Amino acid sequence: MSDLLHNQETRPADLPAGAPPLLTLSGIAKYFPGVVANKDVSIDFYPGEIHALLGENGAGKSTLMNIVTGLYQPDEGELILDGYGVRFESPEAAIAAGIGMVHQHFKLVSRFTVAENLALGWRETGFRLSASAMARRAEVEAERYGLDIRPSARIDTLTSGEQQRVEILRVLSRGARLLILDEPTAVLSPLEVGELYAALRRFRDGGGAVILISHKLDEIMALADRVTVLRHGRVSGTHLVAHTEPSTLVTEMIGRPVEQKSDYPRKMPRTDDDAVMVLENVSCRDGAGQMRLHPLSLEICAGEILGIAGVTGNGQSELSDLLAGLRSSETGHVLVDGKDMRGRGPNAFREAGIGYVPEDRLHKALAPALGVTENAVMRLFRTSPIGGRLAYHASEALRFTRSLLDQAQVSLAEPATPIRALSGGNQQRLVLARERMISHRALVASYPSRGLDIGAIALMRQTLADIRDEGRAVVLVSEDLDELMALSDRIAVLCGGRLMTVVPRGDYDRARIGALMSGRNGGASS
């Protein structure tokens, strides 16, 4: 244990003596104006291992992988592949060398079939490969890697888990020996997570190497063989997962211990369970006219957290927008404190005390081209003392922004800084603090922990519990069942835009809820 305690790098436990790494990062550094993204990063990645990268937002994980895949060039240091120094001038050069990455946002052509998307990466495709030949080749590749696909299915008809399998197969079928995955379970149901784990283990056991970028400690502990922790762009330590503890990794990552709660008990009993928001037989369509949310009815009560579970793309976005006034219902009624809000816009919902943290924070909650101050007050321009009918008080806006930054625990010297210069975690904290001030009656939070590191997630979850304890209603949309079960008083499960069931806290069954999220009505009891 002494090597672990002193943060000395360890080789994979079952690696033959003298076996060389597939890829070595030696003294890698990358600088941007005013920012040290990476400094003196040295890591070995071996064939036959799953190696996790763990770190806070802004720790340098993405920059490091952009160097490995040829998007960036290192300012210092060297990449060593199969014992030879290499320099990838482009992602195509990295792919040709056997390094492929599956990004958090898939790069598939939605109107093409699975086979057509796979064929886009094959050198021999040309103009002569028929649809049937592409399908046969796709089936051969899928069988080779143990990935279940439907070659003739169009991408836009697939679940997130199915699309991810296609993305992984697309990379592997181009000869990847090193597979990099960025937050691979962010859009998967629990059942799909299990299927992904099995596929990655098959690839590893066949001699492939996997680099897993993740914020989820339970995922790393279940799947990875080794883990490297990055902090402020530098390596804090590399460990055998079997010989370390999650608490050690957390402390190494952020410099202090963070309690990983599985429950957020109330500070005092509920005194008010009146319905703040009521949905009566509501449904809605997307911009293309497709029905995305089928008729459903729900009550959201004061002093409770209602969890919305479901795999991404099953109506959660439409439901969240409906609850915040960004989308109008096709049928039924949306009531806030008994007042019918159907057809009224987001300003009316804000005035009724409904705050909203959308899943796409940068484009739906913020204006990327504006500064922090403008984004902090953008929902309050018409509210005294910041504004009024014809006035805008810059000094009050600045005072409000500084207060909001303090509440959000965002350290920023100049509030005029462009909002896009902040890390994703800081952007999310700022949005949550702003919307908390608006949400006198209810807060709708859609995937609020997506892309956040462990410390930011802990702060966000405690904030939601505090809002609940203040007697306000919270709607929490998440695909993370652990998060939903820790925070929610009830969990409503969506699949295919339909409400499958609403489960009270005392009846939570992880396997059953996970099965319903995937449209599988069975689900073994845990």
What pTM does this model have? 0.73
What is the pLDDT, as a whole number, of residue 514?
Answer: 85
Is pLDDT larger for residue 430 or for residue 122? Answer: 430
pLDDT given at position 525: 37
DSSP character at residue 313: T
SS (H, E, C) 460-523: HHHHHHHHHHCCCEEEEEECCHHHHHHHCCEEEEEECCEEEEEEEHHHCCHHHHHHHHCCCCCC
Average pLDDT value for residue range 64-91: 95
User: 188 falls in which pLDDT band (50, 70, 90)?
Assistant: confident
pLDDT of residue 2: 41
Question: Distance between CA atoms of 438 and 448, rounded to whole angstroms?
Answer: 16
Domain boundaries, the chain: 2-98+177-254, 110-175, 275-366+440-517
What pLDDT score was predicted for residue 67? Answer: 96
**Would you list the DSSP string of 370-390?**
SBHHHHHHTT-TTSTTTB-SS
3-state secondary structure 256-277: CCCCCCCCCCCCCCCCCCCEEE
Query: Looking at the predicted structure, is the pLDDT value of residue 259 above 50?
Result: yes
Q: What average pLDDT does this structure show over 101-127?
A: 79
User: Distance between CA 375 and CA 390 in Å, rounded?
Assistant: 19
- The answer to whether the 2-98+177-254 and 275-366+440-517 domains have the same CATH topology is yes
Question: pLDDT value at position 141?
Answer: 87
* Top mean-pLDDT range of 256-270, 323-337, 361-375: 323-337
Q: What is the mean pLDDT of residues 316-320?
A: 92
Comparing 175 with 442, the larger pLDDT belongs to 442
355 vs 417, higher pLDDT:
355
Average pLDDT for the chain: 87
Q: Are 281 and 255 in contact (CB under 8 A)?
A: no
The pLDDT score that the predictor gives to residue 285 is 87
Residue 5 has pLDDT above 70, yes or no: no
Radius of gyration of the chain from its Cα atoms, rounded to whole angstroms? 24
In this prediction, residue 161 has a pLDDT band, given cuts at 50, 70 and 90, of confident
pLDDT reported for residue 358: 92
> For residue 7, what pLDDT is reported?
37
The helix or strand, by DSSP H or E, that contains position 226, with its residue range, turns out to be strand 226-231
The answer to whether residues 456 and 258 touch, using CB atoms and an 8 Å cutoff, is no
Specify the CATH architecture of the domain 275-366+440-517: 3-Layer(aba) Sandwich (3.40)
Averaged pLDDT, 99-108: 84
What is the rounded average pLDDT of the residues 86-103?
A: 92
The residues, ordered by sequence, that sit 6+ positions from 263 with a Cβ below 8 Å of its Cβ are 486
Residue labelled with tokens 């052509």: 109
Q: What is the DSSP letter of 450?
A: T
Give the range among 15-24, 80-89, 118-127, 348-357 with minimum mean pLDDT: 118-127
Q: Which of 299-303, 378-382, 410-414 has the lowest mean pLDDT?
A: 410-414
* pLDDT tops 80 at residue 190: no
Per the listing, tokens 């009993």 go with 269
Give the pLDDT score at 521: 62
Band (106; pLDDT cuts 50, 70, 90): confident
Q: In this model, does residue 97 exceed pLDDT 80?
A: yes
For residue 428, the SS3 value is helix
Mean pLDDT across 268-283: 88
Across 30-34, 41-45, 54-58, 480-484, which has the greatest mean pLDDT? Answer: 41-45
Alpha carbon distances (Å) from 13 to 49, 213, 242, 505: 10, 21, 9, 42
- Residue 124 is predicted with a pLDDT of 58
Non-local (6+) Cβ contacts of 386 within 8 A are 377, 380, 392, 393, 396, 397, 400
Are residues 233 and 41 in contact, defined by beta-carbon separation less than 8 angstroms?
yes
CA angle 185, 454, 446 (to 5 degrees): 60
Q: Which amino acid appears at position 513 of this protein?
A: I
| pLDDT computed for residue 3 by the predictor | 41
Pull the structure tokens for residue 525: 């009891």
Contact 88, 79 (CB under 8 A): yes
Q: For 417-468, what is each residue's pLDDT tens digit? A: 888 878 777 888 899 999 999 999 999 999 898 767 787 888 899 999 999 9
Identify the pLDDT of residue 375. Answer: 92
What CATH number belongs to 2-98+177-254? Answer: 3.40.50.300
N- to C-terminal Cα separation, the chain: 35
The CA distance from 520 to 470, in Å, is 37
∠ CA 511-514-516, rounded to 5°: 110
pLDDT at 312 over 70: yes
Mean pLDDT of 473-500: 93
pLDDT in tens, 279-307: 999 999 877 788 989 999 999 999 999 99
pLDDT (0 to 100) of residue 425: 75
CA 198 centroid distance within chain: 21
Closest to 415 measured CA to CA, from 428, 398, 394, 396: 398
Query: Interhelix angle for 190-205 vs 510-517, to 10°?
Result: 90
